[in-house]
Amino acid sequence: MPTETATPTSTTAPPSREPLGEIPDFIQKLVEQAPPLSQERYQRIAVILQGGRPRG
């Protein structure tokens, strides 16, 4: 029996750092619900939360 502790693929424990370009579900829902003018801001926030730099 392997003694490795595999990380569970549970949605309650997301990876500490998601790849840029993949937006977390809760942010994606906010973006979809936001008015068109606000979508860009939500997407920038998503990038910042993931440790990236907003474009522009």
Q: What ranges do the domains of the chain cover?
A: 16-56
Rg (CA), the chain: 15
Average pLDDT over residues 31-46: 75
Residue 16 pLDDT: 56
pLDDT tier, 36 (very low <50, low <70, confident <90, very high otherwise):
low
Would you say how long the chain is, in residues?
A: 56
On average, the pLDDT of the chain sits at 67
Other CB atoms within a 10 A radius of the CB of residue 46 amount to: 21
Residue 10 has pLDDT above 50, yes or no: no
pTM for this model (two decimals): 0.29
